[in-house]
Structure 1
Amino acid sequence: MPFDRRWSAPTATALGLILFTQQALAQAPIETPPVTVTGERPSRSLTVPSFDDARRDIERTPGGVGIVPAERIRDSRAVTVKDALDYVPGVFAQPKYGQEDARLSIRGSGLSRNFHLRGIRIMVDGVPMNLADGGADTQELDPLGVRYIEVFRGANGLQWGAASLGGAINYVSPTGRDAPRLLLRADGGSFGSAGGQVAVSRSLGPWDFWLSPTYSRSDGYRDHTARNYLRFNGNLGYRFGDNAETRFFAGVNHIRQKIPSSLSRSRTYSDPRSTDPSSFAKGTRRDIDSLRLSNRTTFRFGDDELTFSAWYHHKVLFHPLSFGIVDNVSDDGGGSVRWKGTGMIGGLKNEYVVGANLFTGVNVNKTYINSNGHRNGLMNHVDEHSTNIELYGENRIYLDPTVAIIVGAQFNRARRRLEDKFLSNGDDSGSKTFTSFNPKIGVLWQPRQDLQVFANLSRASEPPTFSELNPNANPGFANLKPQKSWTAEIGTRGKWRGIGFDVSLYRAWVRDELQLFVVPGSGDGGFALNADRTVHQGVELGLDATLFEGLATPAAGTKDKIDARLAYTFSDFRFRNDPVAGNNQIPGAPRHYLRAELRYSHPLGFWFGPNIEWVPQGYYVDNANTKAFRTRSYALFGARAGWTFENGLSVFLDARNLFNKTYVSNTNARPVATPVDQLYNPGEGRAVFVGLEFKW
């Protein structure tokens, strides 16, 4: 199906950049892509790749990917998933308040959900953090506990077994082989915010360890949004010679978060710090205590690697809401095996990855009457059982040193079974089994070391989560179909005259898109449905460049400079000839989203610069596209500054929303909105944060 004319300008822009880059470099000699060196130094971890190795590996993907080093997170306030991923094109991350219930969406995944995300595989050190039914909560992700974060948009997550519209995100921990021996951090600022981190690491012969507790608190910008987060992350590794290593990981979260109500549109823009009185009366909050344990063991055979993983995730959720208290205890676990290898086929270089994942889990889900934030009488009790078996493989064969053809596929069998233990309100018991086969084909052309052009076509299939299969709006096990999609993608990345660029264009044809609508305070818990046909298409553009050098210090090797970075995402998500919604836009995300920053850096160590977050056009909150209820456009101006000293000490200042703009950061969605619907969550007002960090 051809692109409609609404897409023509962004498409032409991105295609023009691709063609321009190719023409500009056409006369350059062809260089062979970098060759992986066999055998790493013993000081490096086998189970956790270094940042440089991870970057080289991810850049061989024929599609949209990104990698964020810790240094780009730690020089500002780092609390939310937005703080960590805001400059990754294609990622839309907007918290409701503080860190609670962020909408995390890639290529329009889970747009109707601004809680308990769906459509993205969230991993920590290569093992899933999602519950076995596919849902996940970003509150358990600590941006201060990473060495880097990998983002695989869409089908590019297949190399981890994921076959979803959104793809996969992998939070990767430091180890005792690459982290400072001691790290101390303290930060604080507006809204009574304060936090700190202590991290210690050692490498002692074959052993190494990294341990890091972090603490974060805030009174919150809005009423009833105070939070206290205490986290611990760590790992212990043992090296069996040069070619084998095992590593044990642990993560602990103690999260206490008060949550306000969403607001009506008029109240959002007139009184953004307020909340509904029921938030106080019902003691609404989300308290999480969780434990995550995992192991990765890697064996190296020349250039090949065999990795076994196992994990266990225990989570206790106490969640008073206006209609009742959600009280969950979940236990999830699984195992995986993954083989990465190289070889020759018919005289051609060949690289491949094959693997298998097994997820299983049970969520004991109870709902109580809410009596001033305390349990008072059981309203519902169901046990939710999930099992997933995934088999996947991806093969890359080089037709010559510059052109690779990639083929892959994933087979998934997912079973969802619900046992109703509280039959006085009807029997919701049921079970469903979903099977899918998801192929992929792609091409990667690398005419020189600093230029790549890629394309791929892939299928994804996503079974419903339990919050969709049993949302309490209607009795019984919901008769929902899995969400299915075909996505075509083209793009390019590389460097030209010092400008780093990353451009992807995609179009996804989606069938039975899953939408979940929750009505706060209604007592029904919400309802889910399958849309018929929808289309998700867009442009993802990232730029990173040094604009000027030697402005005040022209001497070679000591030049000051001005750097710029930009992440722009164009999103066009629409229904296709829907009997009710027609060709309306799918609500929940802006069509244009831009983050940009300039930074001046001096050889003495200080730096400063302005930044902007710009949404030039508001977005709809209902399928009916009611103009009266769409959000307003906004531009948020900020500034950051810091100084890195030679003794390991660094300081930063992070000023946000300098003009105190009132704006909507996150919304719920409806089939048809009304003036009284509380759908809107205001973003934070003017804020200033400062921090100090010491590394040794």
Structure 2
Amino acid sequence: MSLFLRPLGSPRATRTTHHACFAVSLLALTAVLSSAASAQEAPVELPEVNVTTTTPQLKAKAKPQTKAAPAPQPVAPAAVATDSNAGAPSPGDRSGSLSVPTTAEATVDIDRTPGAVEVVPDTAYKTSTPAVTIKDALDYVPGVFVQPKWGEDSRISIRGSSLSRNFHLRGIQLYMDGIPINTADGYGDFQEIDPTAYRYIEVFKGANALRFGANALGGAINFVMPTGYDADLFGARVDIGSFGFRKLAVSSGAVSGPVDYFMTGTWQEADGFRDHSDGESVRGSMNVGYRLSENVETRFYVNANDVDQRIPGSVTKRVALTSPETANPGNITGDYQRNIETVRIANKTAIRLMPGTVLEVGAFNVDRHLMHPIFQWLDNRYDDYGGFARITDESRIGGFANRLIAGVNLHNGSVDVRQYQNLAGQKGDETVATKDTSHNLSAYFENHFYVTPQVALVAGTQFLHATRKRDVDFGATPGETEFNLWSPKGGVVWDVTRTWQVFGNISRSAEVPSFGESVVGGSINIPFFELKPQRATTYEIGTRGGTDDFRWDFALYRANIDNELLCFTTNTNPSTCQVGNADKTIHQGVELGFGAAVLKSLFARGPDPDKVWLHAAYTFSDFRYDGDAEWGNNELPGAPRHFLRAELLYKHPSGIYFGPNVEWVPEAYYVDSANSFETDAYAIWGAKIGFDNGGPITAYLEGRNLSDEAYIASTSIAADMNGSDALMFEPGTGRAIYGGVQVKW
């Protein structure tokens, strides 16, 4: 199925009329639903549930419900896992939706993980940034290195994942409300993510996302939409900025009897900082929940994207630092683009079997069309589908509290691959025709056994059965492969106090090669079906906690990796990533996030004083070969050793805030395994001023890279560049100013 239509030979065909119709339709539907919700007589409200987070990164309480579910009957008290988590709701005992936690509830839940995790609330970025890319949302999560490339696309690496990819994504599993976003063979696209559509974002680093059955070196990211229970009846935002940036978003949410809904739509357009980087997108997301009874809720999801984006391409280091607006000449000649149309539908049903026990079942289908003129004209159609079942149970075993999560996931898909000659952005003769099929079946469990009310021993495992098969009409090599992989995990979580935790774990992870790792020719000439899975054993310890005026999030980790999937492209063609298996590699590092009120009561005293708040995220990354026959103990290319984001913000109780921020990479990092060529160190700074008192109107003005520094944001990687410059580098954006206003009621 396809939501938007365009002539196949004209990926940049004008669709202003389509976008206008979409916006008008969305506004009309919002008005109808809002009116209907307003017209309903308010039903009986759910009992208020106050939830205090154990990690003060939010220090939020679930707000009293202003919207109500169907009048419930009294529910028996649910089992409480631990004394230290007495404020945490048990599964299914939510303050609104039965299946979707609020931000505060999600924070309490995620803090039971024996590893580095974080909940990023929308209040951390929606009201003070244009909220365009995933970088806007995850800038202050330590361990996450994310840089925008062009348009809404970004390059992201968590703990050194996806070093081989400067295009698309691998090594991180993406979810929307716990439902997979990645394709069945493992790749993902951030162009399909609209940060303004989500209530909060959950980040699970490393193998800490076992509650979803996720198991990748970089972990998982779960984007969670609001429901009618925690959404405003109507919201709108307008943002404008440098390089022709314009954005309009509207949303609506409400509860009417047993039904609740949330819907949002965004139109965005930009000329881009670099030549040949203009783009336009229209996105829409919606979920509708129906409370069949006190103990059963079903929720339907629809997500659609129509993204057109020109690609400026990689340039040499010299060009990136002297003329960063310049596009790769070949990208202009071939009119390189990445255009995506996606329709995703899903359902998730939550059933409270008994107090403390909830079963979730669901299914999804994704129709994706990628129109991608690059070195050839790629015209790929994806059909992904799957289902899942997950049970969460909190009970007692021999008088000890116990929490069990177990589930099974099915994720299958096929790609109809068609490649053509790229004749100045138009299709030429067909060169490749294949059918790529992926099947994935995984089963998992994770159990928390509380040996004391404050100490939980955690054990779990995942089993993955995966197959990949390529059927070829012409232009490629057919083949198939199969993987059966076990990944166990053990850990401990100690609640030292109600606001201070210590954790540790040992875990295994596994990543199956995707079709994107297939090599057709080049220096190593390894087809995808000869690649081995990437396996890692990760050791991790850390702590998190804090108070109203101070909080911290600290982790140390080391991953010993076998058969890491890396680029081994030679200097003859550095822009094409030809993937092979390394022998043994090491990823280790330090992740530190903290916030502190360094000054208080400067101009406003009393119970709600003004504050000067220091917010910082520091990541140290030591990624290297481990006694490799060719590369010895060289550093792995593609990520900085030190990365710092920091902000000093004055906050007045009236809602006024302002202050500077900085992004700092103090050391250059290598771009090839031979360690013969590197980027440059850089430091850029910005500032923002805004108003947000929690009321119906917020506004911001933000300046980025105010010194107009020319710097390298990200880079491709190669095997050996022999010390010479090449088309490997993505320049960072120059000086930019953005501003926006949001209204809600």
Residue 281 (structure 2) pairs with residue 233 (structure 1): no
TM-score normalized by the length of structure 1: 0.92
Residue 484 (structure 2) pairs with residue 435 (structure 1): yes
SS at match of 1:96: strand
Residue 592 (structure 2) pairs with residue 541 (structure 1): yes
Task: Assess, with a 3 A threshold, how the Cα gap between structure 1 residues 136 and 313 changes in structure 2: closer, same or farther.
Answer: same
Match of 2:376 in 1: 324
1:291, distance to aligned residue in structure 2 (A): 0.7
Match of 1:78 in 2: 131
1:99, distance to aligned residue in structure 2 (A): 2.0
Q: Which amino acid aligns with 1:84?
A: A
Q: Which amino acid aligns with 2:363?
A: A
* Mapped contact 1:31–1:449 kept (Cα < 8 A): no
In the alignment, the residues of structure 2 paired with residue 476 and residue 405 of structure 1 have an alpha-carbon distance, to the nearest angstrom, of: 42
TM-score normalized by the length of structure 2: 0.86
Of the three residues 717, 720, 723, the one matched with 1:672 is: 720
SS at match of 1:139: helix
* Mapped contact 1:33–1:448 kept (Cα < 8 A): no
Of the three residues 115, 139, 142, the one matched with 2:194 is: 142
SS at match of 2:207: helix
Residue 150 (structure 2) pairs with residue 94 (structure 1): no
Residue 705 (structure 2) pairs with residue 657 (structure 1): yes
Please, which runs of 5 or more residues in structure 1 have no aligned partner? 1-29
1:241, distance to aligned residue in structure 2 (A): 2.5
State the percentage of identical aligned residues. Answer: 42
Moved more, 284-293 or 269-278: 269-278
1:644, distance to aligned residue in structure 2 (A): 2.7
Match of 1:615 in 2: 665
Task: Assess, with a 3 A threshold, how the Cα gap between structure 1 residues 620 and 524 changes in structure 2: closer, same or farther.
Answer: closer
SS at match of 1:421: strand
In the alignment, the residues of structure 1 paired with residue 738 and residue 498 of structure 2 have an alpha-carbon distance, to the nearest angstrom, of: 40
Task: Assess, with a 3 A threshold, how the Cα gap between structure 1 residues 336 and 519 changes in structure 2: closer, same or farther.
Answer: farther
- Give CA-to-partner distance per residue, 1:216-256, whole Å, 9 cap, x none: 11100000000101100111110122211111011110000
Moved more, 496-505 or 434-443: 496-505
Match of 1:570 in 2: 620
In the alignment, the residues of structure 1 paired with residue 536 and residue 528 of structure 2 have an alpha-carbon distance, to the nearest angstrom, of: 24
Of the three residues 164, 172, 177, the one matched with 2:216 is: 164
SS at match of 2:209: helix
Moved more, 642-651 or 662-671: 642-651
Match of 2:40 in 1: none
1:470, distance to aligned residue in structure 2 (A): 4.7
Task: Assess, with a 3 A threshold, how the Cα gap between structure 1 residues 60 and 146 changes in structure 2: closer, same or farther.
Answer: same
Please, which runs of 5 or more residues in structure 2 have no aligned partner? 1-81
1:41, distance to aligned residue in structure 2 (A): 7.4
1:497, distance to aligned residue in structure 2 (A): 7.6
Residue 677 (structure 2) pairs with residue 624 (structure 1): no
1:639, distance to aligned residue in structure 2 (A): 0.4
Task: Assess, with a 3 A threshold, how the Cα gap between structure 1 residues 399 and 42 changes in structure 2: closer, same or farther.
Answer: closer
In the alignment, the residues of structure 2 paired with residue 518 and residue 168 of structure 1 have an alpha-carbon distance, to the nearest angstrom, of: 28
Of the three residues 225, 230, 233, the one matched with 1:178 is: 230
5 Å-filtered alignment, 1:258-297, equals 258-297=310-349
SS at match of 2:338: strand
Match of 1:26 in 2: none
1:39, distance to aligned residue in structure 2 (A): 8.2
Match of 1:692 in 2: 741
In the alignment, the residues of structure 2 paired with residue 590 and residue 113 of structure 1 have an alpha-carbon distance, to the nearest angstrom, of: 15
Match of 1:591 in 2: 641
In the alignment, the residues of structure 2 paired with residue 644 and residue 239 of structure 1 have an alpha-carbon distance, to the nearest angstrom, of: 34
Q: Which amino acid aligns with 1:242?
A: E
Q: Which amino acid aligns with 2:148?
A: P
Match of 2:518 in 1: 469
Moved more, 236-245 or 528-537: 236-245
* Mapped contact 2:436–2:468 kept (Cα < 8 A): yes
Q: Which amino acid aligns with 2:623?
A: F
In the alignment, the residues of structure 1 paired with residue 483 and residue 668 of structure 2 have an alpha-carbon distance, to the nearest angstrom, of: 37
Of the three residues 417, 432, 435, the one matched with 1:383 is: 435
* Mapped contact 2:205–2:219 kept (Cα < 8 A): yes
Residue 499 (structure 2) pairs with residue 450 (structure 1): yes
In the alignment, the residues of structure 1 paired with residue 231 and residue 571 of structure 2 have an alpha-carbon distance, to the nearest angstrom, of: 45
What is the root-mean-square deviation in Å for CA atoms of aligned residues?
Answer: 1.8
Match of 2:611 in 1: 561
1:37, distance to aligned residue in structure 2 (A): 3.9
5 Å-filtered alignment, 1:341-360, equals 341-360=393-412
In the alignment, the residues of structure 2 paired with residue 325 and residue 79 of structure 1 have an alpha-carbon distance, to the nearest angstrom, of: 27
1:519, distance to aligned residue in structure 2 (A): 8.1
SS at match of 2:617: strand
Count of aligned pairs? 659
In the alignment, the residues of structure 2 paired with residue 286 and residue 691 of structure 1 have an alpha-carbon distance, to the nearest angstrom, of: 27
Q: Which amino acid aligns with 1:584?
A: N
1:316, distance to aligned residue in structure 2 (A): 0.4
SS at match of 1:95: strand
SS at match of 1:83: helix
1:548, distance to aligned residue in structure 2 (A): 2.1
Of the three residues 463, 476, 483, the one matched with 2:534 is: 483
Q: Which amino acid aligns with 1:262?
A: S
